[in-house]
Structure 1
Amino acid sequence: MNLDLVLTGGRVVDPSRNIDRITDVGFADGQVAAVGDGLAARAADVRDVSGKIVTPGLIDLHTHVYWGGTSLGIDAEDFARTSAVTTCIDTGSAGPGNFPGFRKHVIEPSQTRILVYLHVSFAGIYGFAPDLMVGESHDFRLMAPKYAAKVIDANRDVIVGIKVRIGRHASGPQGIAPLDVALGLSDETGLPVMCHIDEPPPSYETVVSKLRKGDVLTHCFRPFPNAPVKGDGTIKEAVLEARERGVYFDIGHGMGSFSYRTARAMLSGGFPPDTISSDVHAFCVEGPAYDQLTTMSKFLGLGMPLGEVIARSTVKAAEAIQRPELGTFREGAVGDASVLSLTDGAFALEDVEGEVLRVGERLQAEGVVIAGRWWHPQ
């Protein structure tokens, strides 16, 4: 079989297949064709990635990429170039009222893949500024499950779930009620919910106790108040029960939702996140989140092995969105790959509370393969 592209000589790390070795990855007809030695002779395009790490295309489970349509939006293709992310999951930037514009003007023209958690609020997370923060879930008149169900049924190729935001800032006087609306929409459409949580009320325990198997709690390692751990560092019982039910716990770093103190307590308690995501948007892309690779590097700095960090940004993220063709080098899978370097140096990585973790290595982007073609070298 002739191959369109081979990445040769790199350290291939594919947790979905328990691969971690120097070998080649071949692509044909937009798909993964083979992983093994000596593939270069069969390819029209050979890229020597010796000394680099080659992973299935990275998936960032929490992004905001409705560029130009919401004040939070960043450009997905620019993000791919700097963070080697081949699939951005936009989480609630658009609701049923403005999703058609998102699809036509951003998703369809994008060379990188954009999938969506559709917001249950009519216009999604429509407008923020650093000094203007109005939670879209404050006004119950904006909850639009009937409209959202219609949009979901017409766009199931790109909509993977339902987004709702809960907490003092996001839902304010409505408390947990918008989550009940989202769960009802989930029952109607069969899609899972991703729930944002910020400061109380309601409490972390109250929110997570409502989530079901397959639902995602994002901002899961947030700081006090509304952290998943008690003051003594022990994990709250409702959190343990939710994992037992099959709830996914996603990082969603963002502007205010990732604490080293919480992360250390959760990791020491044997509770790593299911997925690592950046929650990249216009107000955190220059810090403290920056991008997906910076967020992943923070977990390396906390002692998580490289393979586990990559799994939580590839196969585990694909599992959460029920897209098994992504996040793997299985033969016939989507032909996406991320080429990374693990760079030595002195790096200062901050969390949202201002704590700085000083590390001796970090991940950086070196190139991207999309649909079996070399797309961009960093």
Structure 2
Amino acid sequence: MYDLILKGGRVIDPSQNIDETLDVAFADGKVAELAPDIPATGAKAVRDVSGRMVTPGLIDLHTHVYWGGTSLGVDAEMISRRSGTTTFVDAGSAGAGNLPGFRKHVIEPSVPRILAYINISFPGIFGFSKTVMVGECADMRLVHPHECLRAARENLDIVVGVKARIGAKAGGNSGMAPLILAIEVADALGLPVMAHIDTPPPSQREVLQVLRPGDVLTHCFRPFPNAPIRADRSIREEVLAARERGVFFDVGHGYGGFSFDSCRVMMEQGILPDAISSDVHVLCVDGPAHDLLAVMSKFLALGMPLNEVIRATTQNAARALRREELGTLRVGTYGDATVLEMRSGGVEHVDVVGEVLRAEQHLASPGMVIAGAWCPTDDAL
């Protein structure tokens, strides 16, 4: 007896090269069967999703969801209900000093899954708001690799890597030092780093030169300065070299990390993002980023194929996390799925520099499945 069957949806699962009408059954918190017509009598609950898409549960690779414990955190459950996101990856909100609180008070009670990059800075991102902005890596006394390594080792079930935010805003005069230490900790753990870069110094060239295959460059399509493109519309050599050796390119939209202009040039020259993520936090939750679904809709408006948009928020994101049991509907894996539909009606998308992109369609989610259980969204079926 299955716990739940989603019937009649267009199943799009890039991890299995599936794009066809199928039923999806769940049992004991896992994906149990994919087939053209699974008898409804064999399930405790059935949802008719005909005319809609069913994907692996959406993964937002870059978020800030330490709500109540940090000034930039937003409520993952609220964002999940409006976007169909089943897994949130917090990108360094917590460091060694407050990761236990993040775990106990937010991660463990949460319905959607929350994983975390641990911040190389001991207090995590502690001063981030409209009125207070203090970079956590600006004072190297806070950047303590031994404490970061200890806390990560004690929480390897939730820690997926080490985050370093560098640049004039996040790192002040610390330059490359926080990232170099983050890479050293990540190397000891056998995990990747996620590197944030804002305004120079350091330069994007300096950052990319030290990233290893599998490490994540977030804000990969950021605007000037430290944009991936030159004024003549060419892509910088260091960007191409990093891509060639396997550095993972993550969108990380946020409040300052994504430009339509940079994105167009990169896509026109054949470089798609590996992962599409929102970098949702208190300054961008009401725009311009909003949530993962809104950022996915922007990429559709920019001409990225639907199946590649889904790949970038399922299979690829899971690969970046080195947890490929996520981001798939393979039988026996986590019973997470997102139901999507394409809605008509004009929408205006805005990037971080204020450019407006108009589109006639956008994605919405009328429901999702987490651990084999139906979870209604704000647009519930």
- TM-score normalized by structure 2? 0.98
SS of equivalent residue, structure 2 residue 298: helix
2:209 is matched with 209
2:30 & 2:134 partners in 1: Cα distance? Answer: 43
Give per-residue Cα distances to partners, 1:319-338, cap 9 Å, x unaligned.
00000110001111100011
Shift of 1:65: 0.4
Shift of 1:201: 1.0
1:196 is matched with 196
Q: Which structure 2 segments of 5+ residues have no match? A: none
1:138 is matched with 138
Cα RMSD for the two superposed structures = 0.8
1:115 is matched with 115
Q: Which amino acid aligns with 2:22?
A: T
Shift of 1:20: 1.1
Instruction: Please identify, of 38-47 and 138-147, the stretch whose mean Cα deviation from structure 2 is larger.
Output: 38-47
Q: Which amino acid aligns with 1:300?
A: L
1:116 & 1:358 partners in 2: Cα distance? Answer: 34
Asked if 1:154 is matched to 2:131, the reply is: no
Give per-residue Cα distances to partners, 1:223-275, cap 9 Å, x unaligned.
01100111111111111111111110000000011000000000011111100
Percent of residue pairs identical: 58
1:128 & 1:67 partners in 2: Cα distance? Answer: 13
Shift of 1:37: 1.1
Check the 8 A contact 2:95/2:119 in 1, yes or no: yes
1:326 & 1:177 partners in 2: Cα distance? Answer: 33
Matches within 5 A, 1:60-79: 60-79=60-79
1:3 is matched with 2
Q: Which amino acid aligns with 1:19?
A: I
Check the 8 A contact 2:86/2:113 in 1, yes or no: yes
2:73 & 2:370 partners in 1: Cα distance? Answer: 22
1:171 is matched with 171
Check the 8 A contact 1:61/1:275 in 2, yes or no: yes
Give per-residue Cα distances to partners, 1:336-378, cap 9 Å, x unaligned.
0111111011010000111110001101121010001102243
Check the 8 A contact 2:129/2:282 in 1, yes or no: no
Aligned residues: 377
2:170 & 2:119 partners in 1: Cα distance? Answer: 13
Check the 8 A contact 1:221/1:259 in 2, yes or no: yes
2:250 & 2:134 partners in 1: Cα distance? Answer: 24
Check the 8 A contact 1:57/1:327 in 2, yes or no: yes
Q: Which amino acid aligns with 1:5?
A: L
2:225 is matched with 225
SS of equivalent residue, structure 1 residue 323: coil
1:38 is matched with 37
2:39 & 2:323 partners in 1: Cα distance? Answer: 29
1:231 & 1:177 partners in 2: Cα distance? Answer: 29
Shift of 1:73: 0.6
Check the 8 A contact 1:8/1:40 in 2, yes or no: no
Give per-residue Cα distances to partners, 1:288-330, cap 9 Å, x unaligned.
0001000000000010110000000000000000001100011
1:101 is matched with 101
Q: Which structure 1 segments of 5+ residues have no match? A: none
SS of equivalent residue, structure 2 residue 121: coil
Shift of 1:40: 3.7
SS of equivalent residue, structure 1 residue 339: strand
Shift of 1:38: 1.1
SS of equivalent residue, structure 1 residue 214: coil
Asked if 1:27 is matched to 2:26, the reply is: yes
1:131 & 1:106 partners in 2: Cα distance? Answer: 25
Check the 8 A contact 1:229/1:262 in 2, yes or no: yes
Matches within 5 A, 1:78-93: 78-93=78-93
Q: Which amino acid aligns with 1:92?
A: G
1:332 is matched with 332
Check the 8 A contact 1:183/1:193 in 2, yes or no: yes
2:17 is matched with 18
2:84 & 2:127 partners in 1: Cα distance? Answer: 27
Q: Which amino acid aligns with 2:376?
A: H
1:173 & 1:282 partners in 2: Cα distance? Answer: 26
Give per-residue Cα distances to partners, 1:142-161, cap 9 Å, x unaligned.
00110111111111100000
Moved over 3 A (4+): none
1:275 is matched with 275
1:320 is matched with 320
1:108 & 1:261 partners in 2: Cα distance? Answer: 39
Shift of 1:39: 1.1
1:368 is matched with 368
SS of equivalent residue, structure 2 residue 281: coil
SS of equivalent residue, structure 2 residue 173: helix
Check the 8 A contact 2:126/2:134 in 1, yes or no: no
- TM-score normalized by structure 1? 0.98
1:190 & 1:15 partners in 2: Cα distance? Answer: 27
1:321 & 1:13 partners in 2: Cα distance? Answer: 21
1:287 is matched with 287
Give per-residue Cα distances to partners, 1:28-49, cap 9 Å, x unaligned.
1110111111114321110001
SS of equivalent residue, structure 1 residue 277: coil
Asked if 1:305 is matched to 2:305, the reply is: yes
Check the 8 A contact 1:40/1:46 in 2, yes or no: no
Q: Which amino acid aligns with 1:29?
A: D
